Structure 1
């Protein structure tokens, strides 16, 4: 790492931030991925969220290598949002790229995301915040894989931005170029963006990245993407990843940002849609159909739009259901 070079506007330092929790078996691979990045000005900041396994010992060994990595240990387990906030606090870079403790990124990831952000800031942003995500290749325990796209991949026109992104996420409004995920494990933005908006909400142990995206969207942020899957995401089953947990955090997110659906009188519709989706994911098809019919009677056009979007993501949702209903971890 060359920190002096990182102060130059044309050669900025990028902080690669990794949250770690009970990742003794995978964290070395994640660190190797970070160290293999082609961008020459990087630092690695790792926050261990009070792991109960050998993660701290592994990190101690890894930190004894090249002087490019700083490790911090949380006094208590506060969840991934709190760990990300510690990264934001400790970052010395002008940009932060988040990596996960069980994922790997292609060597060109940081370099390509940085170039995408800088070019977009120059050509389209007009001073607004810019956040960049990439597509991901998800790897499942049964050996199957799936590409998960992100939004804003067209470089020849303005990316999805502002309130329209919040509406797309929360109420399913159509948005050109706005289809795709904004996962934190593929996220990069200026450090000042994360700090200006107060970091991630620690109340969200799941969905903290979606909450951040909505908050940024409300403030006028632009969401640029890279079509290539620059992140390989291991779909690791853990006790906190359950269908009921996903439902609870989706409802919590909707309640926090109810000003978005309330603009159109759609809060109850969105709440019922979440419940309908949950019944489908649980395999209760008759209950799901009953809920959908009820929604269609009262909100025909909106229900059609949501169903069309759901069909578009049928494969992703099927994999999501299979992931949350199989595997060695408690559900």
Structure 2
């Protein structure tokens, strides 16, 4: 049986110091066949030159160059629209993925679909190892890591994301940089909302959960993140978009008092 084609999607913006290692980790994946789509979102530094130098040596890499910065959500949507693969996995421009990441996630996703999901949409995430500027490290867990049982799914996941309600095996991050799903799932949901220049991964997962999506995960950290602080990653910017997610999905929050509490709690968290 022929292996399914997996698209590795990578967006880049002013990442001249990190994009080479991110692309190298994509090329080093054990799974074949792959295609790699890189969107340079109007970088002002030498990112495009670094990408072009690598792409010239590998016919598996396709490069899309934006003339104006569109934001990560729109750039990811370009990848979704261009993807030829049956499955799509996202890498970030400053992260490194372990060589077996794509293979592990694909096997987990396909097995979960067969055993539990039936026709429901599925997104598989992996834990991440985060490295901070002071050299400290932590593991960011993901949800749904208990194999052999049904993973968190549906409205329970959406409400946990929005208001923090408890759920079985339901805690942990669902960042896009650790995400894999079928291309058809991304297209069915209309991709990422371009209005969210931050926290678009969170908003996407709320919509996936509302569509009945399942969230199986992998406990081993297959993504290594170098943590940085940029304007887009500032706490003030993040608070703005968390509040926007609550407003967009307000109809799912059972009562006005809980909605107000969630907004006030968000304000406190980002002080």
Residue 265 of structure 1 and its aligned partner are, at CA, apart by: 4.6
User: How do 1:111-122 residues align onto structure 2 when only pairs under 5 Å count?
Assistant: 111-122=103-114
Q: Which residue of 2 aligns with 1:271?
A: 263
TM-score, normalized by length of structure 1?
Answer: 0.80
Q: Is 2:129 the counterpart of 1:134?
A: no
Q: Which residue of 2 aligns with 1:75?
A: 67
Q: Which residue of 2 aligns with 1:180?
A: 172
- C-alpha distance in 2 between matches for 1:205 and 1:138: 22
Contact 1:251–1:271 (CA<8 Å) still a contact in 2?
yes
Q: Which residue of 2 aligns with 1:244?
A: 236
Matched residue of 1:266: which SS? helix
* Cα root mean square deviation, aligned: 1.1
Query: Which of the two has higher C-alpha Rg?
Result: 1
Contact 1:19–1:48 (CA<8 Å) still a contact in 2?
yes
Higher helix share: 1
Q: Which residue of 2 aligns with 1:53?
A: 45
Residue 237 of structure 1 and its aligned partner are, at CA, apart by: 1.9
Residue 272 of structure 1 and its aligned partner are, at CA, apart by: 1.0
Q: Find the partner of 1:258 among 208, 231, 250.
A: 250
Q: Find the partner of 1:160 among 152, 158, 169.
A: 152
Contact 1:45–1:71 (CA<8 Å) still a contact in 2?
yes
- C-alpha distance in 1 between matches for 2:45 and 2:67: 15
User: How do 1:1-331 residues align onto structure 2 when only pairs under 5 Å count?
Assistant: 11-262=3-254, 265-279=257-271
Residue 162 of structure 1 and its aligned partner are, at CA, apart by: 0.2
Which deviates further from its counterpart, 270-279 or 174-183?
A: 270-279
- C-alpha distance in 2 between matches for 1:96 and 1:235: 24
**What is the number of residues matched between the two proteins?**
271
Contact 1:261–1:270 (CA<8 Å) still a contact in 2?
no
Residue 262 of structure 1 and its aligned partner are, at CA, apart by: 3.5
Which deviates further from its counterpart, 167-176 or 261-270?
A: 261-270
- C-alpha distance in 2 between matches for 1:179 and 1:147: 13
Higher relative contact order (CA 8 A, sep 6+): 2
Residue by residue over 1:163-216, the C-alpha shift from the partner in whole angstroms, topping out at 9 and shown as x without a partner, is 000011111111010000000000000000001110000100100000000000
Matched residue of 2:215: which SS? strand
Structure 2 unaligned residues grouped into runs of 5+ = none
TM-score, normalized by length of structure 2?
Answer: 0.98
Residue 278 of structure 1 and its aligned partner are, at CA, apart by: 2.0
Structure 1 unaligned residues grouped into runs of 5+ = 1-7, 280-331
